[in-house]
Structure formats: structure tokens, C-alpha cells
Chains A and B, each alone.
Chain A
Amino acid sequence: MAQMICLQRWKWMHLDAFSHYAFMSATCSNQYGLMDGLLEELEIQQLHSVSQSTIYLLRTWSLSLYTIPRQIKCFIIVGAVASANGSALAKIGCTTMLAAVKLEVMTPKLESPDEGCIAIDFHMPPICSPLVRPGRPAEAAPVITKQLTDIILSSGMIDLKELSLVSGKAAWLAYLDIYCLDADGSLFDAALLSAVAAFSHLQIPVVSLNDNGRIVLISEENSGAMWEKEPVNKEKRKLKLDTLPFSLTCALHKNYILADPSAEEESIMETYLTVVLDSSLQLVSLNKPGGPGLAQTSAIQDCVALTIKRVKELQKMLNEAISDMEVD
């Protein structure tokens, strides 16, 4: 009759929020003077739902007033979606993003006959947050889509000529879809990380041009047997990525800078600043979307310094994730 087996697969590292706070309390230095000041601000902003003890343990403060991002809870898994050409799952704190790249064939534009194209779309499905309703796209979604498109195309990460197949006739269109599975602040950072990881994992399949002028996939079984047409590319290859962009969002609140805010923190902070650097630590983008807080030059410099540290960590994490995948 019917048999059922229960398996343990595809590890979900769901670290509880309180474990994070407990860790931070263990490393908390005695900066309660500074904490009190912030605490008053937060109380004035009526944070009734968050207990005082949680706020105390929220961050460690160094003398120069900047804080540590949620580094202990980041991880990346590449190759999460088997049916896509490249995919990655990135989790920063509780914010989870699933990115997948699917390649389709298109006719290249007349002005650029040997360049492919990338179409980026960021979705916030209703599962990710109580604020998103089905049928009504979230406010943040098109904003992040536009930001991601700008950054990925302008950072020079991908040379579009790599996506060309037959000059003037066929080229790849890479559809990058990023789904937010859990929204807990710093959506753009996690989305960019998952997009970069998905492109790092992307493998272009072997195809050939058949008689009708259409591109067809060559499956592995046929490779030994006769080839009707010369394949367009000899073997599955990965994209050559130039420099990878990584970002960090910092919330600015009066004199304080909070790196990598969670959703709760974002809701009370006045404004935030997103810095995007590439792996050679060149500035790709700096975005401060209005807000009442004015960012002094010193604050901006502090944010950039934080981002530099972050870029190094994320780069290392991404390399580890990719090498883990290749070992498998």
C-alpha cells in the first residue's frame, strides 16, 4: 500500500531572534550612557511593542557610535532552484530572498547585434509580510526593482557581449526574478546579494542552431552521438563576472547610525543611506531617499567605512558558498 518516508533535507537555518539578542548581550560593552539617550528617543516614538530589555540588548555601541550589522545570521545557498540556470537563496537576519536566473533566446536589437539583455524583476509575494496584500503590489517592489536594475547594469558586473549566441540573430535574455520570502528590513541588501550569488552560479547551457533558425538545447545523451549542427558553444560555461557589487543600508537617526536595520528598526528611524561598493572597493552607488535627517559628511564617511567591512565579509561568504556548491 501507500508508503511515506520523512526526510531531513535542504537545511533551513532558522535562527530565532532571541538567540541573536543573547549573543549581543554577551558582547555588550558598558555603553549604557549612550544607550539611555537612544532609549529616550525610542520611547518618545512609542515603541510599546518592544520591551526595554530587547532594546538594551539590540546593539553594541563602540565609542565612535556605529554598530555591527547582522553578520552572524547571514548565509547564502547557491543552486537552490534546480529548474533555473542559476539561483541562490540569501538570508540576512530574517530577511530571506530567493533569486533565480532563467535564460531565454531573443533576437538582439539592431543597434547592438552582439549583446544580450538582462531583465530584472523583484517580487514581494503576500507570504513575506503582513503589509502586502494579494493583488496589490507592495510599494517597495518597483523601487527595489529599479535600484537593482540600475546597479547591476551600471556596475559592469556582466558584459552583455557574453550573452550573445549568433551575432545579429540570437542572444540570451537573462530573466532574473527575485522573490522576497520573508521581509525583515534591509530588503535591498539581501536582494542584491542574492542576485549577485545567482549570477555567480549561472551556467549557460550548450545549444546549437537548427535548420529553422531556432536555437535548441543539446541534451547530454546526444553529445556522444552525431551532431547535426555545430554547437554554438562547446560546453556549459559560467559567466565571467568582473567585479561584484555588495551593499549596506544604514539607518540614520539623529547622531546614531544603525547598520543593517531590521523592519522594526526601519519603522522608527528617520531616514537611511544605502552604499553600494564593488569588490575592488570602488563606489558604485550612494542612495539617500530623502527623509528629515540630514546626513553630515562624517556620517556618510562612517557609513562607507562600515560598507567596506561588510563587502569583505560578504565576498568571503559568497566564495565559500560557491566552492561548497562545486564540491558537491
Chain B
Amino acid sequence: MAGKISNTPATYTPSPTSQNKKRPSIVTGSDWVRPDGRGLHQCRPAFLRTGAVNSASGSAYAEFGNTKVIVSVFGPRESKKAMMYSDIGRLNCNVSYTSFATPIRGQASDSKDLSSMLHKALEGAIILESFPKTTVDVFALVLESGGSDLPVVISCASLALSDAGIRLYDIVASVSMSCLGMNLVIDPVSEEESYQDGNLMITCMPSRNEVTQMTVTGEWSTPKIHEAMQICLDACTKLGMIMRSCLKEAVSAPEE
């Protein structure tokens, strides 16, 4: 993009005339009405499919409302020559956004930080001893960002890893929750994320009942955190079941 600025003049996106930047006062007061009409503790319907990319060892496509993500897994393949010998495998993650993922072009939110968070979320679930000296590459591309991107990327990545046949302790499911004034909303959309007071994201392995990553940002009181964690873990369990059924379908479906 930097090279382009010298050639093309500065541009702007025409914004709608009635743009309300201020947070609606309803949030601080009574119940928050969600823009897509869901209940406060209701997640978006999930569409999951493995085998999206033919060139990869394993891949998955996930669509949660407007958030669309493709993840490809390559490997295990030879580590870079410069790397030292390692008797356990290595994991390499990268998350990137398309330029049309956000409503304003080129406004990829914190994508460098997301790669490292994806790495930490998956690290605990992969049996690294099963592929010593080699590296497994997990690459994610967010096609459209509709809120709650990182949890969708993590869930999709664990599906892709299963599709690639990498040994895991358990599939990893991830859900996030936003705190809007007095309300706790699960699986927030971009609008809700922009108004949030705090965010809690949990990544867990449902069958083993173990949390691989938990991120809390913003203002939270202790009882709120307990409540949010409980709701999120419950949602992760349900998401885990949906992911399992998706994997079973992929394996048992006759080859077209």
C-alpha cells in the first residue's frame, strides 16, 4: 500500500449522511437489543466445512453470521534450515485480512497480534511430539470481519488441523463475550464490539474440560467474570459438538 500512495491520490469512502458515532444511551441503561435480533446469550448460527482448499494438507471454512474465515494447514513439513534441531514439532501461525474484510478498506484490526494469539491458543492442544524436527503451518485468511474474529479463526483452525490429520489432544473451540454496561452479550458483532466496555475470550478443549487460552480486557467485576466464564464454557461445549458433527460428516460423506 505504501508504494501506491505516490501514484494514486488520497481517497475516502463516502460515509452515510446519518452516521451516529456516539454510543446509544440505551446501552448504559436497560437491556441492550442486539442488531440481529438474537438473545443476549445466543450465539450466531455456525456454518463449518472442511476441505475448502485443495492445495493444502487440511483446510476449513467457517461462517458465523458475517464473519467468514478460511484456514489452511500445511505440513508437517521441513523446518527452515536455520532452525535448531528440536525433538518436538513446531507450530507457525499467520492471520491476515483481505482488504475488503472491513467496511472501510484496508483497516485490518490488529492482525499481527492475532497471529501470536492463535499460536498460543493452539499450542496446548497439538501433540507436538508426534512430528519432531518438522513444522506445521497454520494460515488463516479473514474474508469478511463481522465481529468476534479471533474466536472464529481459532475454531476454524482446529477444524483444519483435524482435517490435515495432525494429532490433537482435543478439538479447540473458542467463544468471546462482550460487556456492554450491565449486559453480557455472547459472540458480539462488530457494532457491539465497538461499544463494549470489556471483552472476555475463552478457548477451551470441551471434552477434556481444559482452557488453553483466556483473554480478558476492559472493565470487569469478579462475579461478572465468573458468570461470563460459565456462559462461554457452556457455549464452547456446544460449539465443540457442532465441530465434531461437521468432521464426522466430512469423513462419512461419500466422495462425490
Interface residues of A (CB under 8 A from B): 1-10, 12, 14-19, 81-84, 87, 94, 96, 98, 100, 102, 104-107, 109, 117, 119, 121, 123, 125-130, 134, 173, 175, 177, 179, 181-184, 205, 207-208, 210, 214-219, 221-222, 228, 263
Contact = CB atoms under 8 A, between A and B. Distances in A.
Contacts of A121: 99
Interface string B1-24: 000100011111111111000000
A14 B42 contact: no
A72 to B, nearest CB: 12
A105 B45 contact: no
Nearest to A229: B17
Contact of B12 (A100, A104, A129): A104
Nearest to A218: B17
A6 B49 CA distance: 11
B213 interface: no
B52 interface: yes
Contacts of A83: 66, 100-103, 144
Interface of B: 4, 8-18, 39, 41-43, 45-49, 51-56, 59, 61, 63, 66, 70-72, 74, 77, 94, 96, 98-103, 105, 137, 139-141, 143-144, 175, 186, 231, 234-235, 238-239, 241-242, 245-246, 255-256
Nearest to B230: A1
Highest count of chain B CB atoms <10 Å: which of A9, A83, A87, A207: A83
11 contacts: A3-B39, A4-B241, A6-B245, A14-B256, A19-B255, A104-B105, A128-B53, A129-B55, A179-B141, A181-B53, A217-B17
Nearest to B101: A83
A127 B72 CA distance: 5
B186 A81 contact: no
B99 A134 contact: no
Given A215-B14, A218-B17, A81 B41 contact: no
Contacts of B139: 125-127, 134
Given A184-B54, A214-B12, A177 B99 contact: yes
A217 B55 contact: no
B256 A175 contact: no
B54 to A, nearest CB: 4
CB-based closest 9 A-B pairs: A2-B235, A127-B72, A104-B11, A134-B94, A94-B54, A126-B139, A5-B45, A100-B100, A4-B238
Contacts of A129: 55
A10 B255 contact: no
B61 A4 contact: no
A205 B148 CA distance: 28
B242 A6 contact: yes
Given A4-B45, A126-B139, A82 B144 contact: yes
